[in-house]
Amino acid sequence: MSGWLWLLAGLLLGALIVGLAWLKGQSDDSGGKWVGAQPDRPPQGKPVTAPPRRVEVPPAPKPRFDFYNMLPEMEVVVPDEELDLRPSAPEAAKQADSATYLVQVGSFKRDADADRLKAQLALLGIEAKVVSARIGPQDLRYRVRTGPYRGRAALDKARQQLAGNGFKGIVIRVDGG
């Protein structure tokens, strides 16, 4: 029963403190208003206007371009327009046939998403690898790549198979030309 007495005593003491604070607020010269409230009467005399304040905005920081250091040196993305161009010289044709290509089908933040795409490609009979690449200090990507494909004929065949199943990839030339 003593626990209930302490609870009742605490509640009564709290009510007493709140009541005294309310009475003190009623007896102030401010007429029961909050301290810092504006008076009801308009200011007398000429209004004082303060000069406008100048706000100085710091200059924007210069952009940092770190992508030169981030891009791997061995990879070169080949645009589709360049792939569609046929070489005119026999040497260029020989060089294009000896080149090795990879096809990057996807790039993901989560390893599980990359493994899911790799499994989908495996069900289609396409062998793929998941390669991790650090893009920034806190940004790790998981790239799904197929290949290597030696020569344009093998590359075209793989791209047609991917496109026929709803996948579009980025062609990466690994070596040659």
Residue 171: give its domain's CATH number: 3.30.70.1070
Residue 108 in domain: yes
pLDDT for 149: 84
The arithmetic mean of pLDDT across residues 93-105, rounded, is: 73
CA distance 151 to 139: 33
* Residue 60, both tokens: 């924007």
Instruction: Dihedral sign for Cα 145, 150, 152, 157, please.
Output: negative
pLDDT given for residue 16 in this prediction: 95
**20 assigned to some structural domain:** no
**Residue 28 included in any domain:** no
| Domain that includes residue 155, residue range | 73-175
Number of structural domains found in the chain: 1
Mean pLDDT value of segment 107-119: 89
**pLDDT at position 76, please?**
66
As to burial, measured by CB atoms within 10 angstroms (0-12 exposed, 13-18 middle, 19+ buried), residue 60 is: exposed
In the chain the beta strands, taken as DSSP E runs, fall at 76-78, 100-108, 128-134, 140-150, 170-175
Tell me, what's the pLDDT at 8? Answer: 93
pLDDT, averaged across the chain? 76
| Res 10 pLDDT > 90 | yes
Judge whether 34 lies within some domain: no
pLDDT at residue 11 is higher than 60: yes
Any idea which of 85-89, 115-119, 161-165 has the lowest mean pLDDT?
85-89
